[in-house]
Amino acid sequence: MHHFRVLTTIKRYYGKKHSSNMWLERQARDPYVKRAREEDWRCRSAFKLIEIDAKHKLLKPGQLVIDCGCAPGSWTQVIVQKINSNGCDIKLPKGTAIGIDLQYVNPIRGAILLSKCDFTSAKTQAEILQKLGNKKADLVLSDMAPACTGDRSMDHHIIIELCSSVIRFSTVVLKNDGAVLCKLWMGGQQTLLEDAMKKLFLNVKYVKPNASRDDSAEIYLLGRNFKGMI
C-alpha cells in the first residue's frame, strides 16, 4: 500500500513537471511571448485585443470601457492607450478604463482597478456602478477565465456562467449602441448565449484572433449595437 502511494506521488510529481516543462518550451517558442516582452505588454493576450480592435474598430479616444478579468493587465494597457484614459494626447478626448480581477493587478496609469474582486458578486458590480456615477459604458470586455477543473464540459459551463453575468451587467451599464466582447470556451451551451445576445444586440458574431492558440477552445463573442432596454 505504502509502495503504491509512493509510486503515485512520484508519477504525479513527474506528470506535473512534464506539463510545466511543456508549457515553458511552448512559451519559449511563441513569437507573441517574445513580442510582448519587447513591446512592454504584461502578457501575450494583448495581441488578441490589438488584433480584434484592428479588425472591428471597437476602441476610440474618450470612451468608457470596462475590462472584466483584467489581470495581469495587458488588455487594460491596450485600452488605456486606445481610449486615451491616461490623457497622453491632450488633443484627444480622455476616456475612462475600469479593470476588475479576482487577482491583484499592479497599477496601470490611466486605469481604475478593482483588484481581488469577484466580478460576479453584487458587491463588485455595485462598486463598478459607483465608479461610473451617472455615466454609461461604450464597451464591456471580458477575457475572464475560470481556473480549469480539467473537466471540459464543467469548464465550459463555468465560463458560460461568467459570460452570462457579463451580459446581464452590460444591459445595466451599456449605452444604446454599445458593445460587448466576451471570451468563452466552445461547447454545447454557446448557442444559448449567442441567442440571448441576439435579443440584445443588432450584430452578433464569433471572433477568433490569430494570437489565440489554435489548439485552444477559446473564442470570443462580439455583440455590437446594443438595442437598449425596452
Ligand X SMILES: C[S@@+](CC[C@H](N)C(=O)[O-])C[C@H]1O[C@@H](n2cnc3c(N)ncnc32)[C@H](O)[C@@H]1O
Residues forming contacts to ligand X in the complex (CB under 6 A) are 42-43, 45-46, 69-75, 100-103, 118-120, 143-146
CB-CB contact of 79 with 110 (8 Å):
no
Residue nearest to ligand X (CB): 69
CB-CB contact of 83 with 67 (8 Å):
no
Least spacing, CB of residue 69 vs ligand X, in Å: 3
Residue with cell 456615477: 133
Give the nearer residue to ligand X in terms of CB position, either 138 or 155: 155
Q: Which residues contact 74 (CB under 8 A, 6 or more apart)?
A: 36, 41, 42, 43, 44, 45, 46, 49
Distance (Å) of CA 13 to CA 17, 22, 69 = 6, 14, 30
Residue with cell 462580439: 222
Position 19, amino acid: S
Least spacing, CB of residue 206 vs ligand X, in Å: 18
Give the nearer residue to ligand X in terms of CB position, either 1 or 214: 214
Active site residue ranges: 183
Give the nearer residue to ligand X in terms of CB position, either 169 or 201: 169
CB-CB contact of 67 with 76 (8 Å):
yes
Least spacing, CB of residue 205 vs ligand X, in Å: 20
Least spacing, CB of residue 190 vs ligand X, in Å: 18
Give the nearer residue to ligand X in terms of CB position, either 100 or 197: 100
Q: Which residues contact 145 (CB under 8 A, 6 or more apart)?
A: 69, 159, 183, 185
